[in-house]
Structure 1
Amino acid sequence: MTGIQKGAIGTLLTGGLLGIVLVAVVFGGEAALSTEEFCTSCHSMTYTQTELRQSTHYGALGVNPSCKDCHIPQGFKNFHLAVYSHAVDGARELYLELMNDYSTLEKFNERRLIMAHDARMNLKKWDSITCRDCHKNPNPPGADAQEAHKKMKTEGATCIDCHQNLVHEEVPKTDLNASLKAGKLVLVKEEDEGGSGEDEDEEEDEGEGAAGGTSGSTEAQS
Structure 2
Amino acid sequence: MKWFINIWRTLTKPAKYLTLGTVSLSAFLMGIIFWGGFNTALEMTNTEEFCISCHSMESMPYKELQETVHWSNHSGVRATCPDCHVPHNWSRKIARKIEASHDMWGWMLQSVNTPEKFEDKRLEMASREWKRFDRDNSLACKNCHNYDSMKWEDMSKLAQKQMKRAAEIDQSCVDCHKGIAHHLPDMGTARAPELIAQVGSGVTSLQTEQIYFTALTKPLFYNDHTDVEAGTLNIATKVKVLETKGKRVKVGIDGWRKKVGAGRVIYYDFGINILSAQLTKDAALEEGVMQVFEEKEDPMTGLIWQRVEAKIWTEKDYLVSDLQPLWDYARETYSTSCSVCHTQPDEKHFDANSWPGMFQGMIAFVNMDQDTQALVQKYLQEHSSTFDKSAHEL
SS in 2 for 1:110: helix
What letter is aligned with 1:173?
Answer: A
- Who is 1:9 aligned against? 21
Residue 142 of structure 1 deviates from its aligned partner by 3.5
SS in 1 for 2:235: coil
- 38 and 139 in structure 1: CA distance in 2 versus 1, 3 angstrom threshold: same
- Who is 2:30 aligned against? 18
**In structure 1, C-alpha distance between the alignment counterparts of 2:328 and 2:83, rounded to whole Å:** 28
- 91 and 10 in structure 1: CA distance in 2 versus 1, 3 angstrom threshold: same
- 1:33-72 counterparts in 2 under 5 A? 33-46=45-58, 47-60=60-73, 61-72=75-86
Deviations 1:106-129, CA, capped at 9 Å, x for gaps? 110000011011111111122211
**In structure 1, C-alpha distance between the alignment counterparts of 2:42 and 2:159, rounded to whole Å:** 37
Structure 2, unmatched stretches of 5+, are 1-14, 201-214, 220-231, 237-324, 330-335, 337-394
Contact 1:190 1:196 in 2 (8 A): yes
- 202 and 97 in structure 1: CA distance in 2 versus 1, 3 angstrom threshold: farther
2:87 corresponds to which of 73, 83, 97: 73
Contact 1:161 1:175 in 2 (8 A): no
**In structure 2, C-alpha distance between the alignment counterparts of 1:127 and 1:186, rounded to whole Å:** 26
**1:85 is aligned to 2:123:** no
**Bigger relative contact order, structure 1 or 2, given CA contacts below 8 A and separation 6+?**
1
Residue 99 of structure 1 deviates from its aligned partner by 2.5
**In structure 2, C-alpha distance between the alignment counterparts of 1:110 and 1:55, rounded to whole Å:** 23
**In structure 1, C-alpha distance between the alignment counterparts of 2:151 and 2:165, rounded to whole Å:** 13
SS in 1 for 2:101: helix
SS in 1 for 2:40: helix
- Who is 1:218 aligned against? none
Residue 102 of structure 1 deviates from its aligned partner by 2.0
1:97 corresponds to which of 107, 116, 133: 107
Contact 2:85 2:140 in 1 (8 A): yes
- 38 and 59 in structure 1: CA distance in 2 versus 1, 3 angstrom threshold: same
Contact 2:44 2:50 in 1 (8 A): yes
Relative to the length of structure 2, the TM-score reads: 0.42
**In structure 2, C-alpha distance between the alignment counterparts of 1:26 and 1:202, rounded to whole Å:** 45
Contact 1:117 1:185 in 2 (8 A): no
More helix by share: 1
Q: Which has the larger Rg? A: 2
How many pairs align? 192
Residue 165 of structure 1 deviates from its aligned partner by 0.8
Contact 2:106 2:112 in 1 (8 A): no
- Who is 1:173 aligned against? 190
**In structure 2, C-alpha distance between the alignment counterparts of 1:36 and 1:202, rounded to whole Å:** 40
Relative to the length of structure 1, the TM-score reads: 0.71
**In structure 2, C-alpha distance between the alignment counterparts of 1:123 and 1:200, rounded to whole Å:** 24
CA RMSD after TM alignment: 3.5
**In structure 1, C-alpha distance between the alignment counterparts of 2:102 and 2:328, rounded to whole Å:** 20
- 91 and 158 in structure 1: CA distance in 2 versus 1, 3 angstrom threshold: same
What letter is aligned with 1:82?
Answer: K
What letter is aligned with 1:191?
Answer: T
Residue 156 of structure 1 deviates from its aligned partner by 5.5
- Who is 2:123 aligned against? 113
Contact 1:191 1:197 in 2 (8 A): yes
**In structure 2, C-alpha distance between the alignment counterparts of 1:9 and 1:85, rounded to whole Å:** 38
More strand by share: 2
What letter is aligned with 2:77?
Answer: V
What letter is aligned with 1:23?
Answer: W
- Who is 2:176 aligned against? 162
